[in-house]
Amino acid sequence: MALKELSSLEKFLGLKKPNKYSTQGDRKVPVLQSNSGPGLVGLVTIATHLTQEAKKPDLLGSSAEERAVVQQWLEYRVTRLDGCAKEDIRTILKDLNTYLEDKVYLAGNHISIADPLMYYGLHHIIMDLAVHEKEKYLNVTRWFDHMQHYPIVRHHLPPVAVLRNRVYTSGHH
Amino acid sequence: MAAGTLYTYPENWRAFKAQIAAQYSGAKLKVASTPPAFSFGQTNRTPAFLSNFPTGKVPAYQGDDGFCLTESNAIAYYLCSDALRGTSPQASAQVLQWVSFADADIVPSASAWVFPTLGIMQFNKQATEQAKEEMKRALAYLNQHLNTRTFLVGERVSLADITVACSLLWAYKQVLEPAFRQAYPNVNRWFVTCINQPQFKTVLGEVKLCEKMAQFDAKKFTDVQPKKDTPPKEKKGGKEGKKEKKEDKKKEEKKAAAPAAEEMDECEVALAAEPKTKDPYAHLPKSPFVMDEFKRKYSNEDTLTVALPHFWEHFDREGYSIWYGEYRFPKELTQTFMSCNLISGMFQRLDRLRKTAFASMILFGTNNNSTISGIWVFRGQDLAFPLSDDWQIDYESYAWRKLEVDSEECKTMVKEYFAWEGDFKHVGMPISQGKIFK
C-alpha cells in the first residue's frame, strides 16, 4: 500500500526516475533505499525528501506558516489516520469536515504535498462511506472529489463516486 | 495565442476579467491604462479610437493583428485558453451560464450597493436595502452551488470563476463585512481561493476583504458630482428657474425609483467623476434670449413658420453668436453611418455645452463622397470650444467661421440648416442626414 502510494507521489512530483523502496517492522514503515549510506525511513521523511528532490519547494508550503501546516497534516496522516481504530474514523471525518469548511486545500490556497498524502490515506475510508455519510461530511467529500480530479494525484486508486446534488436534504451540514 | 492591447482606466474590474484570463492562457496582453499609452476621457474620444471602437467605452481590445473587440466578457472569452472556456459542450455552456448570472444577478445589485459608498452615486436607502436583498439571493444561490463544489464549473478554475469573482470584487472589498458574509461560507471559501491563485493575484494584487460595511460617502459624492446634479440656486428669475427646478426634481425621482435598473456603467461613473470646470460664461451679463424656449419651439412646432421667426425675433446679438463649421477632411469620410457616428460622438462629448448652445449639423452626399457642415449658436462672441478642456476633442477637425448675424448669407444658412431643406448652394451635394444639438 505505502509503496504504491510513494510511486504515485513520485509521478505527482514529476520525478522521472523511480526510487527503490522497502518496508521495515510490523507496521511496514517505508524505507527509501539509497546507494550511499542508510536509507530514509518513514512516509513523511521520504515525501519531504522527494519534494525537495523534485525542486518543488512550494508543495511544502510557500510561507513559514504554510510549511508548518503542511508538516502538521503529514504528521496527522501517520500518527492519527494510519491504522486508526474504527470508532475513531467518525471523529477524524468530523474534525476534518469542520477544518475544510472554509478551505479548498489543506494548507494555503494551493495544493501542497499534504493534499495527496491525506487523499491516499483517506481513500479506503471514503470508499466505504455510504451516500448519506458522504453528505454528512460534505466538505471532506468536496475536497476529496477535487483531489481525485487531479489526474496527477489519483494514480493507483479507483475513483469514488460523489453526488453533486444532495439526496438527504434534511440531513446534517 | 492571442496577443494585443487592452485599453482601460486603471483598476477596472471588467478589465480584470480579461487580464486574469490572459494570465491563465498565456496570451500576451499589454494593458494601456495610463498616459501616454491611454488617458481615460481623452484617448477614447479621439477619432482614431472611435473608428475602432465607436462607443468609446472601455475595456476595449485591439489585437496586434488589428482585430478589435469590445465588451469585457467577449474580450475575456477571446483571451481564454480552451480549458478556461470549458472543454465539453456542457461545460462551456455552464461557463456561459455563470457569466450571464454575474451580469444579470450580481452586477446590478453590487453596483447599486457599492457605488454610493464610493461616492460615485447618490445614496438612496430604499435602493441600497433592495440591493442588499438581491445580493443575499445571489449569494445564497452561489453558496448552495458551491456546497459540493470547489469551483463553479468542473474541478478547475474556469472563466466562470474569473467572471463571477471579479463581479463580486468590489462588494467583498467595500460592503460584505464579516457578519454579512458569514452566512455564505462556501462562497467565501471559493472567493478567497480564487483571489489567491497566482494568476488572480498578479492582476488584483492583495485583496483586503471588507472589515466594516462602508457607508455612503456624502462628501466624496458632492466632490465628484458634475455640477448639473447640485440643487439649483435659490435665486433664479421667473419661469426659467422654476422649470429647471422641476427638471432636477424629476431626475432625482427617476434615480430614486429605479437605481438598480439604470445603474451606471463604471465607464459612465468615471466620466461623471471627472473634475468639472466652472461655468465658463459666468462673466457674461444675463441674456434676454432664452435658449430653452427656442429649443422648445424648435422641437414642438413648425420650423419655418414658428421656430425661425421666434429665433430672429428674440435673438440676442450681444449675448450670442452664430458660427458656420465645415469638416476639414471630407476625403476621409467613407460610409455615411460612420460619418453620422462622428457627429453624434461629437455631440456626446459636448454634452455640457447643451445648456447654452444649439446646432444643426448635416451630412451631405453619399458613401465615399460626402461632407459635413453645420450652424452653431453659442453664448458669447467667441468660439465656445476652447473654453473647456472637455470640448476640445473634435472642433479642430472643423473650419470655423463666425457669421455676420444680419447678413443675407447668415439668414439663408440658418434657415436652410435649421429646416434641413433648401438649396445649400455652398455645398453642392444633396442632404444625407441631419443632426440637431440641443
Q: What is the pLDDT of residue B251?
A: 43
Chain B partners of A164 at a C-beta cutoff of 8 Å? 148-149
Nearest-CA distance B117 → chain A (Å): 28
Cβ <8 Å between A165 and B149: no
Q: What is the pLDDT of residue B260?
A: 35
Q: Is the pLDDT of residue B341 over 90?
A: no
Q: Is the pLDDT of residue B311 over 60?
A: yes
User: Which among B147, B148, B192 has CB closest to A109?
Assistant: B192
User: Which among A101, A162, A166 has CB closest to B185?
Assistant: A101
Alpha-carbon span B258 to B111, nearest angstrom: 13
Mean pLDDT along residues B266-278: 53
**Nearest residue in chain B measured CA to CA from A134:** B148
Q: What is the pLDDT of residue A166?
A: 60
Nearest-CA distance A99 → chain B (Å): 12
Mean pLDDT along residues B244-267: 43
Nearest-CA distance B185 → chain A (Å): 6
Kindly state the DSSP code that residue B307 receives in the 8-state scheme. Answer: I
Cβ <8 Å between A103 and B196: no
Partner A contacted by B193 (CB < 8 A)? yes
Q: Is the pLDDT of residue B250 over 80?
A: no
Q: How confident is the prediction for chain A on average, in pLDDT?
A: 88
pLDDT digits (tens, 9 = 90+) for B386-420: 887 778 778 888 999 999 998 999 999 999 999 99
Q: Which percentage of chain B shows pLDDT scores above 70?
A: 87
Residue found under cell 476652447: B386
Q: What is the pLDDT of residue B243?
A: 44
Mean pLDDT along residues B156-185: 96
Please, which pLDDT band fits residue B259 given cuts at 50, 70 and 90? very low
Chain B partners of A168 at a C-beta cutoff of 8 Å? none
Mean pLDDT along residues B304-331: 91
Partner A contacted by B185 (CB < 8 A)? yes
User: Which among A103, A110, A142 has CB closest to B148?
Assistant: A142
Grid cell listed for A112: 501542497
Partner A contacted by B192 (CB < 8 A)? yes
Q: What is the pLDDT of residue B81?
A: 95
User: Which among B147, B155, B196 has CB closest to A109?
Assistant: B196
Task: Please identify among residues 112-151 of chain B the ones whose CB lies closer than 8 Å to any CB of chain A.
Answer: 147-150
Q: What is the pLDDT of residue B393?
A: 78
Does domain B291-437 match CATH 3.40.640.10? no
Partner A contacted by B158 (CB < 8 A)? no
DSSP per residue, B33-97: -STTT--TTTGGGSHHHHHHSTT--SSEEEETTS-EEESHHHHHHHH--HHHH-SSHHHHHHHHH
| Domains in chain B: boundaries | 3-79, 81-276, 291-437
Residue with the bigger pLDDT between A37 and B323: it is B323
Please, which pLDDT band fits residue B60 given cuts at 50, 70 and 90? very high
Q: What is the pLDDT of residue B236?
A: 41
Classify B292 as helix, strand or coil: helix
Residue A3 and residue A21 in contact, taking contact as beta carbons nearer than 8 Å: yes
Nearest to B272 by CA among B386, B216, B351: B351
Mean pLDDT along residues A10-25: 89
Chain A interface, mutation test: which of B90, B94, B148, most A Cβ atoms within 10 Å?
B148
Q: Which residues, 6 or more positions from B390, have their beta carbon under 8 angstroms from its beta carbon?
A: B41, B274, B277, B349, B350, B352
Q: Is the pLDDT of residue B102 over 80?
A: yes
Alpha-carbon span B412 to A9, nearest angstrom: 89
Cβ <8 Å between A145 and B197: no
Residue found under cell 504504491: A4
Mean pLDDT along residues B141-152: 95
Cβ <8 Å between B189 and A103: yes
What are φ and ψ of residue B80, in 5° steps? Answer: -75, 155
Q: What is the pLDDT of residue B7?
A: 95
Cβ <8 Å between A102 and B190: no
Alpha-carbon span B51 to B400, nearest angstrom: 23
**Nearest residue in chain B measured CA to CA from A138:** B148
Residue A14 and residue A54 in contact, taking contact as beta carbons nearer than 8 Å: yes
Q: What is the pLDDT of residue B255?
A: 39
Q: Is the pLDDT of residue B223 over 70?
A: yes
Alpha-carbon span B325 to B375, nearest angstrom: 6
Q: What is the pLDDT of residue B228?
A: 45
Q: Which residues, 6 or more positions from A72, have their beta carbon under 8 angstroms from its beta carbon?
A: none
Chain A partners of B188 at a C-beta cutoff of 8 Å? 102
pLDDT digits (tens, 9 = 90+) for A128-156: 998 888 989 999 999 999 999 887 887 77
Q: Is the pLDDT of residue B107 over 80?
A: yes
Q: Which CATH class is domain B3-79?
A: alpha beta
Q: What is the pLDDT of residue A35?
A: 76
Q: Which CATH class is domain A2-148?
A: mainly alpha
Cβ <8 Å between A101 and B149: no
Alpha-carbon span B398 to A42, nearest angstrom: 82
Does domain B81-276 match CATH 1.20.1050.10? yes
pLDDT digits (tens, 9 = 90+) for B20-47: 999 999 999 999 998 888 999 889 999 9
> Of all helices (H) and strands (E), which one includes residue B244?
helix B238-257
Q: Which residues of A touch B (CB under 8 A)?
A: 101-105, 108-110, 138, 141-143, 145-146, 149-150, 162-166
Q: How confident is the prediction for chain B on average, in pLDDT?
A: 86
Chain A interface, mutation test: which of B87, B147, B149, B206, most A Cβ atoms within 10 Å?
B147
Q: What is the pLDDT of residue B339?
A: 87
Partner A contacted by B287 (CB < 8 A)? no
Please, which pLDDT band fits residue B331 given cuts at 50, 70 and 90? confident
- Per the DSSP assignment, residues forming a β-bridge with B376 are B323, B359
- Plot region of B365 (φ>0 → left; ψ -120 to 50 → alpha; else → beta): left
Q: Which percentage of chain A shows pLDDT scores above 90?
A: 59
Cβ burial of B228 (10 Å; 0-12, 13-18, 19+) is middle
Cβ burial of A123 (10 Å; 0-12, 13-18, 19+) is buried
Chain B partners of A146 at a C-beta cutoff of 8 Å? 150, 155
Please, which pLDDT band fits residue A163 given cuts at 50, 70 and 90? confident
Classify A167 as helix, strand or coil: coil
